[in-house]
């Protein structure tokens, strides 16, 4: 087993990652804000995964073992904060909305990490103010812990377009839909349809980052029609998949 890397200080910097590039599991003693100015970023922990396009950032609390994965060419921005500074009082990874002002603050702050002028101190203060006002987004895909759910979820991860009902999937893993429904609520805190929608949205972001056409993404992710996909995507991210792909 590869040892988990420990980096006491969470770095503040910007860097480019090639499509498919990864940063292996590691942890910091500091909090970190992780933002993709271009491309789509996936952050994975033992509790599940979070996927963020350019309108979202991911809050990673101090001590959280996490790994990064780039989808599409990724412009990665990292902001490290001392453990004493937690503007949203969050103790679990969380996706945050990033408006135009917060985006520019993150980009500007991470491009000159060695700058200690008073102007940079003021920039940091405004960045923290904007973080406090940033809405949290329910874009977490929880990782199941029970063997039955792990088996079922692995089937859907391999093919998010699989449209079988919970009862049909249950026959494959050897459990009733009633048993599986209870386990979804108890284990991941979601219903089965909610979890499958999150999985499909995460997969859609990855495919859009690869410049796949919207129609193909809708079918690959299991939506019955392109219009249904666009509606769900807009409600989740605030813009259409075509606008996201164009950005």
Say whether both 58 and 22 belong to one domain: yes
Average pLDDT (27-37) is 92
- Asked if 110 and 165 sit in the same domain, the reply is no
Domain end position, chosen among 116, 140, 164: 140
Distance CA(47)–CA(66), nearest Å, equals 10
Q: Per-residue pLDDT tens for 156-166?
A: 999 999 999 99
Separation CA 11–CA 66 (nearest Å): 14
pLDDT given for residue 139 in this prediction: 75
The whole-number pLDDT of residue 34 equals: 93
> Domain total for the chain?
2
Looking at the fold, whether 177 and 227 belong to one and the same domain comes out as yes
Question: Between residues 116 and 64, which one has the greater pLDDT?
Answer: 64
Question: What is the average per-residue pLDDT within 205-224?
Answer: 93
Single residue among 90, 115, 140 that ends a domain in this structure: 140
Share of the chain above pLDDT 70, in %: 97
Same domain? 31 vs 99: yes
Question: CATH number of the domain that 59 lies in?
Answer: 2.60.120.810
Indicate whether 246 pLDDT > 50: no
Q: How many CB atoms lie within 10 A of CB 87?
A: 17
Task: Give me the mean pLDDT over the 196-200 stretch.
Answer: 95
Residue 43 has pLDDT above 50, yes or no: yes
The string of pLDDT tens digits covering residues 137-182 is 767 899 999 999 999 999 999 999 999 999 999 999 999 999 999 9
135 and 160: one domain?
no
pLDDT score at 218: 97
Query: Residue 220 phi/psi, 5° resolution?
Result: -65, -25
209 and 105 co-located in one domain: no
Report the C-alpha gap between 210 and 203 in whole angstroms: 11
User: What pLDDT sits at residue 247?
Assistant: 43
Residue 237 reports pLDDT greater than 90: no
Q: Give me the CATH number covering residue 198.
A: 1.10.10.60
42 with 96, same domain?
A: yes
Question: Which residue segment(s) compose the domain that 119 sits in?
Answer: 5-140
Closest C-alpha to 139, from 43, 10, 20, 231: 43
pLDDT band at 116 (very low <50, low <70, confident <90, very high): confident
Query: Average pLDDT for residues 239-243, to the nearest whole number?
Result: 82
Regarding whether 191 and 70 lie in a shared domain, the answer is no
Task: Name the residue with higher pLDDT: 173 or 88.
Answer: 173
Tokens of 190: 């979601």
Average pLDDT, integer, range 182-200: 95
Maximum mean pLDDT: which of 104-118, 153-167, 230-244: 153-167
Structural domain ending residue among the three candidates 140, 159, 184: 140
- Taking residues 91-117, what's their average pLDDT? 88
């Amino acid at each position: 087993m590869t040892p988990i890397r420990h980096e006491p200080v969470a770095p503040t910097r910007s860097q480019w990652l090639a499509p498919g590039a990864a940063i292996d599991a590691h942890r910091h003693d500091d909090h970190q804000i992780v933002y993709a100015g271009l491309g789509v970023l996936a952050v994975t922990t033992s509790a599940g995964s979070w996927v963020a396009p350019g309108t979202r950032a991911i809050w990673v609390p101090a001590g959280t073992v996490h790994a990064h994965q780039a989808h599409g060419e990724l412009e990665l921005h990292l902001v490290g904060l001392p453990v004493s500074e937690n503007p949203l009082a969050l103790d679990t990874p969380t996706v945050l909305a990033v408006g135009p002002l917060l985006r520019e603050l993150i980009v500007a702050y991470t491009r000159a990490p060695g700058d200690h002028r008073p102007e940079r101190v003021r920039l940091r203060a405004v960045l923290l103010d904007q973080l406090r006002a940033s809405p949290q987004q329910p874009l977490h895909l929880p990782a199941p812990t029970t063997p039955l759910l792990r088996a079922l979820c692995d089937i859907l991860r391999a093919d998010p377009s699989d449209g079988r009902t919970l009862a049909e999937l249950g026959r494959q893993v050897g459990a009733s839909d009633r048993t599986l429904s209870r386990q979804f609520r108890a284990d991941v805190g979601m219903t089965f349809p909610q979890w499958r929608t999150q999985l499909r949205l995460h997969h859609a972001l990855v495919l859009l980052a690869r410049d796949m056409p919207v129609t193909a993404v809708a079918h690959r992710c299991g939506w019955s029609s392109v219009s249904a996909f666009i509606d769900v995507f807009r409600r989740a991210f605030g813009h259409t998949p075509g606008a996201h792909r164009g950005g």
